[in-house]
Amino acid sequence: MFRRIVTAPDRRIEVRSEIAALLPVDREAEVNVVATYFAGDAARRSAEAIESELADSDLIVCDELDFGAMAMGVRAGMPVAVVSVITSGALVRPARVADALEQLRLELGVSEPLNYLGDRFVIPFAPVMRDPEFPPPPNALWLRPDRGAMTDPDGSIVATLGTEFNTESGDLFERIIGALSELNAPAVLAVGRDLDPTRFGPTPSHIRVEQYVDFAELIPRANVVVHHGGSGLFVRSILGGASQLVLPMGADQPFTADRVEALGVGAVLNSQTAGTADIAEHMAELLASGETRARVLALRAETLDLPDPSAAVADLESLVELRS
């Protein structure tokens, strides 16, 4: 059995009336925020939230930015499985987080150094998705993600800007809608639960604007996914067999965009400067590109050839037994 621990309420369920201006992409700032926030206040909240749950637990499973959970695992002498959620591997950099992790260790009274890689570092996507500049650690445990529905492209386009930067995207939604309007392809645009779709006004009949859609259902039928460059959408698009048009805004997105471009599974545009015509042109090119789709399907096959999740479960069970 397992327990899911929520450290803060989800603010994204509150509908907002405004979309903030779209700021320039700042890669250095996004790397720095890992130390200043994720290894700072976020880690303290996480540590506090899970402390009372440790007495009757055997294993901590957390994502690679949950340093508070990692620290509490070390303090309790409990094995920790860290799950990679940043496909590029470019955000968590040892030299950049070392001081913050040492401060966290001292605050939480942890006697040993904090191992930000855990006892196992679980990676649920193909090795080539990771930036070669940031290779996987020696304790990497590869795992095949859920394959999802079979790919059955119908010429459609799925577009989204995720659930974090959707309210900080300036007029990017309008530019995407304008580009979709220039094409005849059926399209669905998901704007997020915290935005009212009616704010974007009437759209052509082939475009549907929704707060939430089921990507697991729609992406395997899409030929192109237009998105912000989140790791989750990157992997889901590959598994769905869809080419990608990426408009990165922040967080891990510019690093994901680098991998999309390097692997030839889509195109990347500047989210601040790309105009409606430019976005439409790239959508049309990806819809027509058999070569891009072939590379997507090859990467999908490589991803689905990873070890079955049962192997990772068995490994973690053995790890728990060794610590018992």
State how many domains the chain has. Answer: 2
312 plus 299 within the same structural domain: no
Q: Which two tokens stand for residue 83?
A: 């799950």
233 plus 287 within the same structural domain: yes
Q: Contact 110/71 with Cβ under 8 angstroms? A: yes
171 plus 78 within the same structural domain: no
pLDDT in tens, 20-34: 999 999 999 999 999
Read out DSSP for 185-232?
S-EEEE--TTB-GGGG----TTEEEES---HHHHGGGEEEEEE---HH
169 plus 194 within the same structural domain: yes
179 plus 300 within the same structural domain: yes
47 plus 107 within the same structural domain: yes
Burial of residue 208 (CB within 10 Å: 0-12, 13-18, 19+) is middle
Q: Is residue 149 part of a domain?
A: no
129 plus 220 within the same structural domain: no
Task: Give percent above pLDDT 70 in the chain.
Answer: 96
Q: Is residue 218 part of a domain?
A: yes
For 135-169, b/e burial (b = at least 16 CB within 10 A) is eebeebbbbbbeebeebebeebbbbbbbbebbbeb
Q: Is residue 262 part of a domain?
A: yes
> Residue written as tokens 């759209």?
203
Q: Is residue 1 part of a domain?
A: no
Least-confidence region, from 17-21, 234-238, 269-273, 309-313: 17-21
Q: Where do the H-state alpha helices sit in the chain? A: 27-33, 42-51, 67-76, 94-108, 172-182, 215-218, 231-239, 253-263, 276-288, 290-304, 309-323
pLDDT in tens, 60-69: 999 999 999 9
169 plus 182 within the same structural domain: yes
Q: Is residue 79 part of a domain?
A: yes
Q: Is residue 216 part of a domain?
A: yes
pLDDT in tens, 208-261: 999 999 999 999 999 999 999 999 999 999 999 999 999 999 999 999 999 999
- Give the pLDDT confidence score for residue 7 in this predicted structure: 65
- Give the pLDDT confidence score for residue 12 in this predicted structure: 61
DSSP reduced 3-state for 60: strand
Q: Is residue 13 part of a domain?
A: no
Q: Tell me the CB-side half-sphere exposure of residue 215, using CA atoms within 13 A.
A: 26
- Give the pLDDT confidence score for residue 6 in this predicted structure: 67
pLDDT in tens, 91-110: 999 999 999 999 999 999 99
Residue 53's pLDDT band (boundaries 50, 70, 90)? Answer: confident
Question: What CATH number does the domain containing 94 carry?
Answer: 3.40.50.2000
If one counts every other C-beta atom within 10 angstroms of the C-beta of residue 301, the result is 11
238 plus 284 within the same structural domain: yes
Please give the average per-residue pLDDT across 287-293, as a whole number: 97
288 plus 185 within the same structural domain: yes
Q: Which two tokens stand for residue 255?
A: 């690093």
282 plus 313 within the same structural domain: no
For residue 129, give its domain range: 24-144+307-323
Rounded to two decimals, what is the model's pTM?
A: 0.93
> Residue written as tokens 């401060």?
103
277 plus 170 within the same structural domain: yes
Nearest alpha-carbon partner for 2 in 55, 44, 59: 59
- Give the pLDDT confidence score for residue 14 in this predicted structure: 75
Q: Is residue 4 part of a domain?
A: no
According to DSSP, residue 16 is labeled B
